[in-house]
Amino acid sequence: MSVHPGQETWSKEDICAHLGDDYDRFLGAIVPPIFQNSLFTRKTVNHGYTYTRVTNPTTEIAETKIAALEEGEEAKCFASGMAAITSTLMSVLEQGSHVLCPRSVYTPTRAFLENYMPRFGVEATFVESESVEAFERAIRPNTKVILLESPVSNLFTLQDLAQLAGLARAHNLTTIIDNTWATPMYQNPIRLGIDLVVHSASKYMGGHSDIVGGVVVGRKETLTEIMHRERGLFGAIMDPHQSWLLLRGLRTLPLRMRQHQESGMKVAKFLEEHPAVERVFYPGLQSHPQFELGRKQMSGYSGLMSFVPKGSVEQIRAFIKQLSFFEEGPSWGGFESLINSPGVGISEEASSLTGIPSGLVRISVGLEKAETLIDDLDRGLFAMKA
């Protein structure tokens, strides 16, 4: 229940700041409390809550905001992005099903499909995902799901969401997308016909590198089923404290994303012009081969990108080590700038399997001043050339 009227016309900024406010229910507290309890007794009052493994009021406020941001009927929060992805896949797949997926999808997602699901007879085909025809050609009689990640979070290639949603409908397949990179601020796949949207809330939604979490958005009926079945049975719900921190992150999501976009664009343009950089992968650059598709299906860009410096493996490793403002680490989407090196020292086999070129480094542009980050990268690249 909301204290604000007319909320169907709210902007994303309004949703992030206020949707789910209920001052009467929470004694006027401007920030809702953390319901840090496992069970809800009902001898004297029955609010419909039973046990925090099923639902929790603090978690529900985060779910209300995220469902509205994604323009879905309902959202359910999970203990991690991977819990959200694997539970959603398990909710749709049956023994012997087949899944289609971009070949450079997030590595643990690929590992789940490639190494874990075969024990249930589930098969996956990893597709050259820029081409809708490649998906169409790979459909089999037992195909159940098209799992997307657009942009993929290492090479930043896109999938055509509207066309793939149409293809899936024609073949009675369920579409799921990992929308972590663009966030609901800049891409709303349900509007384009995608069935289910998953996020790692550990990235931009949380925004402060202090939580691990996930969320799934979609139709009410599907989400209620996932809540009782996969989330309830696997015990995969986000805990109340994590949900409260997620709420705090969501309040500033629009503001942070604007800054990540502005700085991300400046850094990408700087890298593109730099003589010590071979190639930049960022959908916001006009030189990106799918720039027009990106403009059609996204309304903005986040701050995660990759590039290949011109140098040996040792030179690239030294470049990473001597940066002052980019800590080395695998995550992204927080206030801090990060660098990691998925293509540095990669084997030829892994490179041809995933499409990740040798020497690829990935940076998450944080909330520091863009010029500070550019100076840092410039110094590092200059030193590498010397």
Chain contacts with ligand PLP (rule: CB under 6 A): 80-82, 106, 149, 153, 178, 180, 200, 202, 212, 214, 331
Task: Find the shortest distance in angstroms from Cβ 82 to ligand PLP.
Answer: 4
Closest CA to 213 of 223, 201, 203, 226: 201
Smaller CB separation from ligand PLP, 300 or 380? 300
Q: Which is nearer to ligand PLP, 290 or 340 (CB)?
A: 340
Cβ nearer to ligand PLP, comparing 276 with 338:
338
The nearer residue to ligand PLP, 331 or 358, going by C-beta atoms, is 331
**For ligand PLP, which is the closer residue by CB, 63 or 178?**
178
CA distances to 32, 263, 271, 368 from 373, in Å: 36, 9, 11, 7
Place of tokens 């694997």: 86
Could you give the CA distance from residue 188 to residue 171 in angstroms, rounded to a whole number?
A: 22
Nearer to ligand PLP, 261 or 270 (CB): 261
DSSP for 203-224, written as a single string: TTTT-SS----EEEEE-HHHHH
- Shortest distance, position 145 Cβ to ligand PLP, whole Å: 16
The backbone torsions φ and ψ at residue 51, rounded to the nearest 5 degrees and listed phi first, read -155, 140
Least distance (Å) between residue 103 CB and ligand PLP: 14
Q: How far is the CB of 77 from ligand PLP (least distance, A)?
A: 11
CA–CA dist 90, 64 (Å, integer) = 24
What residues does 125 pair with on adjacent strands? 100
Task: Report the b/e string of 73-101 with b at 16+ CB within 10 A.
Answer: ebbbbbbbbbbbbbbbbbbbbeeebbbbb
| Both tokens assigned to 295 | 């403009």
Report the length, in residues, of the chain: 386
DSSP state of 115: I
Q: Please identify, using beta-carbon distances, which residue of 144 and 203 lies nearer to ligand PLP.
A: 203
Q: How many CB atoms lie within 10 A of CB 329?
A: 13
Comparison of 98 and 362: residue with beta carbon closer to ligand PLP: 362
Position with the least CB separation from ligand PLP: 81
Return the closest-CA partner of residue 163 out of 284, 296, 299, 70: 296
CB of 179 to ligand PLP, least distance (A): 9
Residue 311's alpha-carbon distances to 70, 113, 301, 305, in angstroms, are 41, 34, 28, 19
Helix (H) or strand (E) holding 133: helix 132-138
The CA distance from 236 to 85, in Å, is 11
C-beta of 52 vs 153, nearer to ligand PLP: 153
Closest contact distance (angstroms) between CB of 21 and ligand PLP is 27
